[in-house]
Amino acid sequence: MSISRSHCFVITPYGNPNGNKAERLLYSQVNELLENVIKPVEARLIADGVGWEMVVGRDRAYEDGLWGRIGEQISQAESVIA
Protein backbone atom coordinates (compact mmCIF):
# COMPACT_ATOMS: atom_id res chain seq x y z
CA MET A 1 0.00 0.00 0.00
CA SER A 2 1.37 3.36 -0.97
CA ILE A 3 0.50 6.38 1.13
CA SER A 4 0.13 9.31 -1.26
CA ARG A 5 -0.61 12.13 1.14
CA SER A 6 0.81 13.29 4.43
CA HIS A 7 0.03 10.94 7.23
CA CYS A 8 0.29 10.27 10.92
CA PHE A 9 1.11 6.69 11.86
CA VAL A 10 -0.87 5.52 14.89
CA ILE A 11 0.61 2.69 16.95
CA THR A 12 -1.79 1.01 19.37
CA PRO A 13 -1.98 -2.26 21.22
CA TYR A 14 -4.12 -4.77 19.37
CA GLY A 15 -6.19 -6.53 21.98
CA ASN A 16 -8.30 -9.39 20.73
CA PRO A 17 -12.07 -9.31 20.22
CA ASN A 18 -12.14 -13.10 20.64
CA GLY A 19 -9.58 -13.37 23.43
CA ASN A 20 -9.84 -13.57 27.18
CA LYS A 21 -11.56 -10.85 29.23
CA ALA A 22 -8.46 -8.61 29.44
CA GLU A 23 -7.76 -8.89 25.69
CA ARG A 24 -11.39 -8.08 24.83
CA LEU A 25 -11.33 -5.08 27.18
CA LEU A 26 -8.12 -3.77 25.60
CA TYR A 27 -9.58 -4.21 22.12
CA SER A 28 -12.68 -2.28 23.17
CA GLN A 29 -10.64 0.53 24.75
CA VAL A 30 -8.52 0.92 21.63
CA ASN A 31 -11.69 1.03 19.52
CA GLU A 32 -13.01 3.85 21.73
CA LEU A 33 -9.75 5.77 21.32
CA LEU A 34 -9.86 5.37 17.56
CA GLU A 35 -13.54 6.30 17.24
CA ASN A 36 -13.58 9.19 19.74
CA VAL A 37 -10.15 10.75 19.19
CA ILE A 38 -8.21 9.57 16.15
CA LYS A 39 -11.01 9.50 13.55
CA PRO A 40 -12.46 12.90 14.55
CA VAL A 41 -8.98 14.46 14.38
CA GLU A 42 -8.43 12.93 10.95
CA ALA A 43 -11.82 14.21 9.73
CA ARG A 44 -11.06 17.70 11.03
CA LEU A 45 -7.65 17.80 9.40
CA ILE A 46 -9.08 16.68 6.08
CA ALA A 47 -11.95 19.20 6.33
CA ASP A 48 -9.44 21.97 7.07
CA GLY A 49 -7.49 21.07 3.94
CA VAL A 50 -4.55 19.51 5.73
CA GLY A 51 -5.24 16.16 4.07
CA TRP A 52 -3.60 14.02 6.71
CA GLU A 53 -4.51 10.38 6.82
CA MET A 54 -4.31 8.58 10.13
CA VAL A 55 -2.66 5.26 9.35
CA VAL A 56 -3.57 2.89 12.18
CA GLY A 57 -1.16 -0.04 12.41
CA ARG A 58 -3.73 -2.31 14.05
CA ASP A 59 -6.03 -1.92 11.04
CA ARG A 60 -3.30 -3.35 8.83
CA ALA A 61 -2.13 -6.12 11.13
CA TYR A 62 -3.20 -8.93 8.83
CA GLU A 63 -2.20 -7.48 5.47
CA ASP A 64 0.39 -9.44 3.53
CA GLY A 65 3.83 -7.94 3.92
CA LEU A 66 2.84 -5.53 6.67
CA TRP A 67 5.95 -6.01 8.74
CA GLY A 68 8.13 -5.29 5.72
CA ARG A 69 6.35 -1.95 5.15
CA ILE A 70 5.67 -0.74 8.67
CA GLY A 71 9.08 0.83 9.20
CA GLU A 72 8.78 2.66 5.89
CA GLN A 73 5.32 3.98 6.76
CA ILE A 74 6.55 5.19 10.15
CA SER A 75 9.68 6.82 8.72
CA GLN A 76 7.64 8.64 6.07
CA ALA A 77 5.01 9.87 8.55
CA GLU A 78 4.96 13.51 9.49
CA SER A 79 4.09 12.39 13.00
CA VAL A 80 3.60 9.22 15.01
CA ILE A 81 1.17 8.61 17.85
CA ALA A 82 2.01 5.67 20.08
Q: What is the pLDDT of residues 4-63, one digit of tens each?
A: 457 888 988 888 899 999 999 999 999 999 999 999 988 998 888 887 888 887 776 666
Does residue 56 contact residue 8 with C-beta atoms inside 8 Å?
no
In whole angstroms, what is the distance from residue 48 CA to residue 12 CA? 25
Give the global pTM. Answer: 0.73
User: Kindly report the CA angle at 63 between 30 and 53, in degrees rounded to 5?
Assistant: 60
Query: Across the strands, what pairs with 79?
Result: 8
In whole angstroms, what is the distance from residue 41 CA to residue 12 CA? 16
In whole angstroms, what is the distance from residue 16 CA to residue 30 CA? 10
